[in-house]
């Protein structure tokens, strides 16, 4: 009998959406699949970022749908496969999940190491 091993989950320190455009974006939403967990923000100014709801927990999803309205009011939606870092998951290291929204309806997602300060504050996405 072969028994499968579930892969360990990446632990999220922060989940951040960065607006890498030159315009404000609005109605920003992220829906993780297959968990159906979602996070949203009303507006992100150009070259700014905001945290959303998935921080401080294991990343149980394997994909996401990111939607927003660009500076011209055009609705955008992108499906993304979530990155995985086996070494970080095995070591129990906190990682930041960073969504970046670019001009032209492009969105990408990255995992980046999380730094926890002595005071317990997460920084450096």
Q: At residue 1, does pLDDT exceed 70?
A: no
| Tokens coding 49 | 């970022």
Q: Are 110 and 125 in contact (CB under 8 A)?
A: no
Torsion of CA 10, 61, 100, 51, to 10 degrees: -70
Q: Are 13 and 116 in contact (CB under 8 A)?
A: yes
Q: What is the DSSP string of 88-125?
A: HHHHT-EEEEEEEEEGGGEEEEEEEE-EE-TTS-EE--
Domains of the chain from N-terminus onward: 11-123 (2.60.40.2890)
Phi and psi of 123, rounded to 5°? -145, 180
When pLDDT is averaged across residues 14-42 and rounded to a whole number, the result is 95
Q: How far apart are CA 78 and CA 92, in angstroms?
A: 29
Band of residue 115 on the pLDDT scale cut at 50, 70, 90: low
> Per-residue b/e over 32-55, b at no fewer than 16 CB within 10 Å?
beeeebebebeebeeeebbebebb
Helix (H) or strand (E) holding 87, with range, is helix 86-91
Record the pTM: 0.86
When pLDDT is averaged across residues 7-32 and rounded to a whole number, the result is 94
Q: What percent of the chain has pLDDT over 70?
A: 86
pLDDT digits (tens, 9 = 90+) for 38-96: 999 999 999 999 998 777 789 999 999 999 999 999 999 999 999 999 999 898 889 99
Q: At residue 120, does pLDDT exceed 50?
A: no
């Amino acid at each position: 009998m072969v028994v499968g091993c579930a892969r360990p989950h990446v632990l999220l320190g922060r989940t951040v959406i960065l607006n890498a455009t030159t315009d404000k974006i609005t109605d920003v939403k992220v829906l993780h699949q297959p968990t159906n967990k979602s996070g949203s923000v009303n507006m992100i100014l150009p070259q700014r970022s905001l945290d959303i709801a998935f921080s401080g927990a294991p990343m149980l999803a394997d994909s996401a749908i990111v939607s927003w309205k660009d500076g011209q009011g055009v609705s955008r939606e992108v499906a993304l496969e979530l990155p995985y870092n086996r070494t970080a998951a095995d070591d129990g290291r906190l990682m930041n999940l960073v969504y970046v929204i670019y001009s032209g309806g492009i969105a990408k997602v990255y995992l980046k190491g999380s730094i926890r300060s002595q005071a317990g504050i997460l920084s450096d996405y």
